[in-house]
Structure 1
Amino acid sequence: MNIETNFNLEATPERVYSLMKLIEMKRYTQEELKQLVHPISKEGELNKVLKYLTDCKWISKNSHNQYELHFEKKYLETIDLFRKRLNSILFDGDKTIFYMFTEWVVTNDERILGIKVNDYTKENSDLVREGKINFHLQWRLWARFLGFGNLHNKIFIPNPSDRIKDIIDFYHHEQSLDKPIPLNVFLNWLITKCPELKNCLVDNNISTFLSLAFRELHDQKIIKLEYHQDFPYIWYLTSSMFHEIDRQVTHINLRGDQD
């Protein structure tokens, strides 16, 4: 299973999911799909979404020029399941421009809350690659959908709690559940699934927005953060006087959904 993260602007999460649901129900030609989505979508937009799905190898044309689905149907039952499946494979393979945007945003501190999304490339020229000067337009749509944060008045507020929750849910069989495990063990596992979070961990300090995500998951009872006296490996969240978990954490108890 692959995902092409060099998204085009027309291939929004909702359009991608909706078109796959149509093809799941029946094999259609491109002309038939055009009639179904008109006038909701322009033909050029439809073509770009179809190209995106083809590039991902989630659909292909058969000998009758009809599109066939090559995506697990159980993950198309709801758009949340679809998102969870995408998160499970999101950054497999090469580091794309979407990866670069995401890594830069989630590893920043509160300073990024004063920067509009369309000014990201002014702050970091490395984010301009392959001539995609306006890639921030599609990045913000997919970053919000995949659970990296929320968009408010052109400001993106990083909070990867939903992304982490999807990973815990999808790979729950790889971790011990309902019992404390050392946080360093969990973090080593997490960054193999979410490599964009690696730079959020520096000298046993957890960055601002990853700390926010962990506290939110703790409040939702998806995880429980714990401090065990005399345990040698201590991690430090960004300080918060308003939360029951101030700074020191040694263990985590995973309480994610178990399918």
Structure 2
Amino acid sequence: MIYKDNLRKEVTPSRLLSFLNLVIMGNYTREALKSLIYPPSLTRDSNADFNRIFNFAMDINLVAEEEHRRIGFIKNEIIKIKDNEIDEDSFKKYMNRCLFYSRESLFWRITNSLIRKDASILKSKTSEDLIKLVYNDVHIDREDILAWRFWAKYLGYAYNLMDEFIIVNPFKYIAQLNKEILRDEKPNEEMMFGKYMTELKSRASVLEGCTNGNNVSFPISLALVTLHNNQQIELLYNKDSREIWHLENMKLSGKDQVSHIRIGG
């Protein structure tokens, strides 16, 4: 399981991004960085937190110890730096690639398991509920699911309801995939829904299994209806179409059957 030791709940997106921006801005040693982020007066646990962040940044090839023990940022083709700060959209793209790089990665397995669930997933509100829900696909503990929750929300796979319950609704992530699809397709042009789902899954292996025949899993159905309601896409139904798809548990929205889709520009 990738990053099992270093990617814990302490390695949050905001902490990692702040750490990397400090590395870019300064010419610090590891000890100097630690003192800036966690002053010596703080507890030993704070030092352990710093070590997890530092080690994870090294794991994903973003920092390295250079001459005179200075910590340097490792540039790559994805992450862009503007005014000595990391562009957050490019950072998200890089982290998506890191965390979901393989079907064997912990984050891939948790996310893939959840996006294939039916509407009963709405009953799973706590971390313990989610652990039980994915048990048949991946065995995880509370530390794993807490780490997953931070990054899943940040990367657009889920969100918090009332700062307490987590809702698996990847509409933000799918919106990013739609931007990629529009590089090859014209905006606001009708597309067969089956073709759209093929395009979507070809860009994100973590979406594997989100369809069964012409039936779309509940989390993906929820995401698509959310995007429709936000006027980012338009879900269309032509009863005479040769291909009809079914969005799970979306009857109340009036979008339980779909034949075509338009992606807004």
1:128 corresponds to 2:139: yes
1:47 corresponds to 2:51: yes
Q: Is the 8 A contact 1:118 1:137 kept in 2?
A: no
> Which residue pairs with 1:249 in the alignment?
258
In structure 2, what residue type is equivalent to 1:184? G
Q: Tell me the TM-score normalized by structure 1.
A: 0.84
- From 159, 169, 186, the equivalent of 2:196 is 186
- From 229, 233, 237, the equivalent of 1:227 is 237
Which digits, 9 at most, give the CA deviation of each residue in 1:40-59, with x for residues without a partner? Answer: 88222111101101000011
C-alpha distance in 1, partners of 2:153/2:216? 22
Q: Is the 8 A contact 1:114 1:155 kept in 2?
A: no
C-alpha distance in 2, partners of 1:185/1:50? 43
C-alpha distance in 2, partners of 1:149/1:15? 19
Matches within 5 A, 1:74-223: 74=81, 77-87=86-96, 90-115=99-124, 116-123=126-133, 124-128=135-139, 134-152=143-161, 155-170=165-180, 172-223=182-233
In structure 1, what residue type is equivalent to 2:92? R
Q: Is the 8 A contact 2:157 2:172 kept in 1?
A: yes
With over 3 angstroms needed to count, the CA separation of the structure-2 counterparts of 1:215 and 1:89, relative to structure 1, is farther
Structure 1: give runs of 5+ residues left out of the alignment.
none
Shift of 1:177: 2.3
> Which residue pairs with 1:20 in the alignment?
20
With over 3 angstroms needed to count, the CA separation of the structure-2 counterparts of 1:174 and 1:53, relative to structure 1, is farther
Shift of 1:235: 1.1
Which digits, 9 at most, give the CA deviation of each residue in 1:163-220, with x for residues without a partner? Answer: 1112223564244323112221121121122222222211101111211100111122
With over 3 angstroms needed to count, the CA separation of the structure-2 counterparts of 1:121 and 1:77, relative to structure 1, is closer
C-alpha distance in 2, partners of 1:89/1:100? 14
C-alpha distance in 2, partners of 1:174/1:67? 40
In structure 1, what residue type is equivalent to 2:229? D
SS at match of 2:262: strand
- From 229, 236, 247, the equivalent of 1:237 is 247
In structure 2, what residue type is equivalent to 1:196? V
Q: Is the 8 A contact 1:84 1:170 kept in 2?
A: no
C-alpha distance in 2, partners of 1:144/1:120? 14
C-alpha distance in 2, partners of 1:229/1:241? 15
SS at match of 2:72: strand
C-alpha distance in 1, partners of 2:258/2:246? 6
Structure 2: give runs of 5+ residues left out of the alignment.
none
User: Which segment is superposed worse, 246-255 or 68-77?
Assistant: 68-77
SS at match of 1:225: strand
Which digits, 9 at most, give the CA deviation of each residue in 1:20-59, with x for residues without a partner? Answer: 1111222321111112112488222111101101000011
In structure 2, what residue type is equivalent to 1:112? I
In structure 2, what residue type is equivalent to 1:44? A
SS at match of 1:151: strand
Shift of 1:144: 1.5
Shift of 1:159: 0.3
SS at match of 1:134: helix
Q: Is the 8 A contact 2:225 2:255 kept in 1?
A: no
Percentage of identical aligned residues: 26
> Which residue pairs with 2:80 in the alignment?
73
